[in-house]
Amino acid sequence: MTELIATFIFFFAVIDPIGTIPVFIAVTRHHDDAFKKRVAIKAVSVSAAVLLFFVIAGELILNAIQIPLPAFQIAGGIVLLLFALTMIFGEGKPESEIKCVKSASETAIFPLAIPSIASPGAMLGAVLMTRNTEYTWVEQAITSSMMLAVLAIVLVLLLLSRYVHKFIGDSGASIISRVMGLILTSVAVTNILSGIKDYFAI
């Protein structure tokens, strides 16, 4: 049970559902509720497809190009660390991604699905949390279900974005994003240390 909660918290941190709400509001502010619903469903569906692709094929691709998983784990940990540090010290997720908005066309894909929901950290996490050498198919399926549960929360929050944003505001979303960044920093350092240990144990 503890591992399930830890996995859920990890994906909640890398996907950052709360931080996605201001981005969603920005890209759909000139449209009606029906359009917003279509964008929310499409964005979450695309994000789920992308992340499940990394769960299924991420490690196979690494093996095909002969990159040891520990090396990817170290690199992924470094990228995740940099990503987390920008969430803490740089612009918050909402501010940086709202700047990506140029038009209403294909906003469900960019910047909403990628990089807001299916962020680089989420893609790396999908691979690292489902390593074939460490986890059985059952464990990988459970991890994937936790990831999909977080995406389901994203969808609910996007559909209720008007009310959630009214409650927490831009500053609240920014604070939550920074707290998630702090959690990600710890996860990233753990991945780097674990990757170094596994690499020299090969």
- pLDDT grade, residue 64 (50/70/90)? confident
- pTM summary value: 0.74
Sign of the dihedral through C-alpha 37, 5, 136, 195:
positive
Q: Stretch 127-146: mean pLDDT, rounded?
A: 90
> In 3D, which of 71, 73, 65, 66 has the Cα closest to residue 130?
73
Q: Could you tell me which residue, 169 or 15, shows the higher pLDDT?
A: 15
Whether residue 104 is predicted with pLDDT greater than 50 in this model: the reply is no
Band the pLDDT of 152: cuts 50, 70, 90: very high
Q: Say if residue 114's pLDDT is above 60.
A: yes
Q: Tens of pLDDT along 183-200?
A: 778 878 887 898 898 888
pLDDT in tens, 48-63: 999 999 999 988 888 8
Residues 6+ apart with CB under 8 A from 75: none
Q: How confident is the model at residue 200, as a pLDDT? A: 85
Can you give the pLDDT at residue 101?
A: 52
What pLDDT is stored for residue 120 in this prediction? 73
State which amino acid sits at residue 166: K
pLDDT of 149 above 70: yes
Alpha helix stretches (DSSP H) within the chain: 2-15, 17-28, 33-64, 69-88, 93-98, 120-128, 137-159, 161-201
Where are the chain's structural domains? 2-201
Answer positive or negative: Cα dihedral of 14, 113, 151, 139.
negative
